[in-house]
Amino acid sequence: KMIAGLPMYDRPELFEAHDKFWRLIHKQIIGSPKILSRNIAPWDLWTSPKLFLAQTCSSPYRKTLHKTTIYVGTVDYDLPNCPPGYYNSLIITRPGYELSELKNCTFGYNEKISHSGWAAPQAHFRKLNISPKFLKKTGSHRASVKSVASGKIDFAAIDAQSWRFIKKYDNFANNIEILDHTYPTPGLPFITSQSGLGENLFRAIKKAIEVLSEKYRSLLYLNDFVIIEEKKYLKSGF
């Protein structure tokens, strides 16, 4: 039995929209799972031989998943200051802090396998020749924002798409300030483990975005589905 999941930006407020989006993909491809799996850990989903489709983070894809899965395409979320299909991270803090204070403060990260929460900000800090005095793992972008807001950590990096949802649905984000942003890099890729399915999936996803109702398309910020060259995902420097 095939499985599919869109865990990267899924949250209860978006379940209905993601389900509608998935149904439009499912209708176009015989043998695709009827529903999205939400009870499976991301790594188990990404590495399953039964993986029909999933969205993953660009860092796990760059490090290991490009060897075991097939790249399908990348959603363009029409993010500010980013080319189609690209994204970046926002460096956040509480009002009154400056980025130069990082050297005496705590930087929180969701996990070290994350591109937007760890690799991208670390590369950004190296360019600025600053580094945080303390590091603290939070477990998720949402937890990072909550920890900054409550004072448990002082700085964090949140990918721009996650920030849209956190700002919209979580009241604790009201007292957060954006200090800086990282350089745009290729966005979160869609992958499959099924050989020969990539082109069909690409067309199905692109079509699903086109025909999805404006209500759900705008809720998910779905603008288009594009191809980004694999070498752009795999280039070193992070």
Contacts of 193 (CB under 8 A, 6+ apart): 48, 49, 50, 51, 52, 68, 69, 70
Give the type of residue at 132: P
CA distances (Å), 229 to each of 59, 74, 165, in order? Answer: 15, 10, 28
Dig out the tokens for 43 from the structure: 């790594």
- For the chain, 238 residues long, give each residue's pLDDT as a single digit of tens: 999 999 999 999 999 999 999 999 999 999 999 999 999 999 999 999 999 999 999 999 999 999 999 999 999 999 999 999 999 999 999 999 999 999 999 999 999 999 999 999 999 999 999 999 999 999 999 999 999 999 999 999 999 999 999 999 999 999 999 999 999 999 999 999 999 999 999 999 999 999 999 999 999 999 999 999 999 999 855 5
Residue reference for tokens 């969701």: 110
Angle made by CA atoms 23, 24, 28, in degrees to the nearest 5: 105
> What pTM, to 2 d.p., does this model score?
0.96
Dig out the tokens for 103 from the structure: 């050297």
DSSP string, the chain: --EEE--SS--GGGHHHHHHHHHHHHTTSTT--SS---SS-HHHHHH-TTEEEEE--HHHIIIIIHHHSEEEEEEE---TT--TTEE-EEEEE-TT--GGGGGGSEEEES-TT-IIIIIHHHHHHHHHT---SEEEE-SSHHHHHHHHHHTS-SEEEEEHHHHHHHHHH-GGGGG-EEEEEPPPEE-PEEEESSTT-HHHHHHHHHHHHHHS-HHHHHHHT--EEE---HHHHH----
- pLDDT the model gives residue 185: 96
